Amino acid sequence: MTTTTGIPAATGALGTARTRVEGRDKVTGAARYAGDIPLPELAHGWLVLSTVARGRVRSVESDAVLAMPGVLAVLHHQNAPRINLDYVGMVGRPDPVIGVFQQDRVPFRGWPVALVVAERPEQAREAAEQLVVHYDQEPHDVTFYAGHPGAYTPEDSPFGRAEETKGDVEAELAASAFVVDAEYTTPEEHHNPMEPHAATAHWDDGRLEVLDSNQGSTWVATELAQIFSLDPGSVRVRSEHVGGGFGSKGVRPTQVAAAMAATVLQRPVRVVMTRRQMFSAIGYRSPTAQRVRLGADASGKLRALDHRSECLTSTVHEFIERSASVGRVLYDAPAHHTSDRVVRLDVPTPTFMRGPGEAPGSFALECALDELAEKSGIDPIELRVRNEPDRGPISGLPFSSRNLVACMEEGSRRFGWADRDPRPGLRREGRWLLGTGMAAASFHSGVGPSTAAVTAEANGTFTVRINAADIGTGARTAIALVAADALGVDPERVRVVMADSDLGPAMFAGGSMGTRSWAWAVSMAVGELRERLALGGDIPPEGITARSDTSEAIGALAQKERHSFGAQFAEVAVDVTSGEVRVRRMLGIFAAGRIVNPLTARNQLVGGMIWGISMALHEEAIRDRASGGHVGPDLAGYHFAANADVPLVEADWVDDPDPDDPVGIKGVGEVGIVGAAAAIANAVWHATGVRHRHLPIRPDRVLSAGTNVPEHRPGA
What residue ranges bind another protein (CB under 8 A)? 51, 122, 125-126, 129, 276, 431, 577-580, 582, 617-618, 622, 624-627, 629-632, 636-637, 639-645, 698-700, 703-704
Complex with another protein: residue 75 or 617, whichever CB lies closer: 617
Q: Are strands 269-272 and 105-106 parallel, antiparallel or unpaired?
A: unpaired
- Maximal CA-CA distance, the chain: 82
Cα–Cα distance list, 615 to 2, 164, 240, 394 (Å): 55, 27, 30, 29
Task: Answer yes or no: are the C-beta atoms of 384 and 440 closer than 8 Å.
Answer: yes
Query: At residue 641, what is the residue type?
Result: A
Q: How many CB atoms lie within 10 A of CB 341?
A: 19
Residues 6 or more apart in contact with residue 421 via CB below 8 angstroms: none
Q: Annotated catalytic residue: which of 188, 189, 620, 670?
A: 670
Task: Answer yes or no: are the C-beta atoms of 675 and 605 closer than 8 Å.
Answer: no
DSSP, res 428: E
Complex with another protein: residue 544 or 617, whichever CB lies closer: 617
Residues forming a β-bridge with 305: 294, 336
Task: Answer yes or no: are the C-beta atoms of 18 and 98 closer than 8 Å.
Answer: no
Residue 281 CA to residue 531 CA, distance in Å, equals: 48
Residue 677 CA to residue 438 CA, distance in Å, equals: 10
Q: Quick one: CA torsion of 118, 124, 128, 130, rounded to 10 degrees?
A: -100
Q: How many CB atoms lie within 10 A of CB 525?
A: 26
Report, in Å, the least distance between residue 583 CB and another protein. 10
Complex with another protein: residue 27 or 635, whichever CB lies closer: 635
Query: At residue 93, what is the residue type?
Result: R
Alpha carbons within 13 angstroms on the beta-carbon side of residue 708 total 9
Report, in Å, the least distance between residue 191 CB and another protein. 18
Complex with another protein: residue 431 or 712, whichever CB lies closer: 431
Complex with another protein: residue 106 or 262, whichever CB lies closer: 106
Report, in Å, the least distance between residue 430 CB and another protein. 10
Q: How many CB atoms lie within 10 A of CB 14?
A: 22
Task: Answer yes or no: are the C-beta atoms of 566 and 592 closer than 8 Å.
Answer: yes
Report, in Å, the least distance between residue 274 CB and another protein. 8
Complex with another protein: residue 79 or 704, whichever CB lies closer: 704
Report, in Å, the least distance between residue 197 CB and another protein. 18
DSSP, res 233: G
Residue 596 CA to residue 479 CA, distance in Å, equals: 9
Report, in Å, the least distance between residue 696 CB and another protein. 8
Residue 547 CA to residue 454 CA, distance in Å, equals: 6
- Decide if 170 is catalytic: no
Task: Answer yes or no: are the C-beta atoms of 471 and 249 closer than 8 Å.
Answer: yes
What single string gives the DSSP state of each residue in 443-508?
EE------EEEEEE-TTS-EEEEE----SSS-HHHHHHHHHHHHHTS-GGGEEEEESBGGG-----
Complex with another protein: residue 276 or 386, whichever CB lies closer: 276
Complex with another protein: residue 417 or 432, whichever CB lies closer: 432
Residue 612 CA to residue 39 CA, distance in Å, equals: 40
Closest to 48 measured CA to CA, from 102, 127, 128: 128
Phi, psi torsion values for 678, nearest 5 degrees: -65, -40
Report, in Å, the least distance between residue 124 CB and another protein. 10
Complex with another protein: residue 543 or 647, whichever CB lies closer: 647
Residue 252 CA to residue 337 CA, distance in Å, equals: 36
Report, in Å, the least distance between residue 37 CB and another protein. 23
Angle between helices 217-227 and 253-265 (to 10 degrees): 50
Report, in Å, the least distance between residue 307 CB and another protein. 29
Cα–Cα distance list, 176 to 170, 293, 302, 306 (Å): 10, 11, 8, 13
Report, in Å, the least distance between residue 318 CB and another protein. 28
Residue 617 CA to residue 570 CA, distance in Å, equals: 13
Residue 380 CA to residue 458 CA, distance in Å, equals: 59
Residue 385 CA to residue 525 CA, distance in Å, equals: 41
Complex with another protein: residue 559 or 643, whichever CB lies closer: 643
Q: Are strands 43-49 and 269-272 parallel, antiparallel or unpaired?
A: parallel
Report, in Å, the least distance between residue 459 CB and another protein. 46
Complex with another protein: residue 75 or 573, whichever CB lies closer: 573
Q: Would you please indicate which residues are annotated as catalytic (active-site) residues?
A: 670
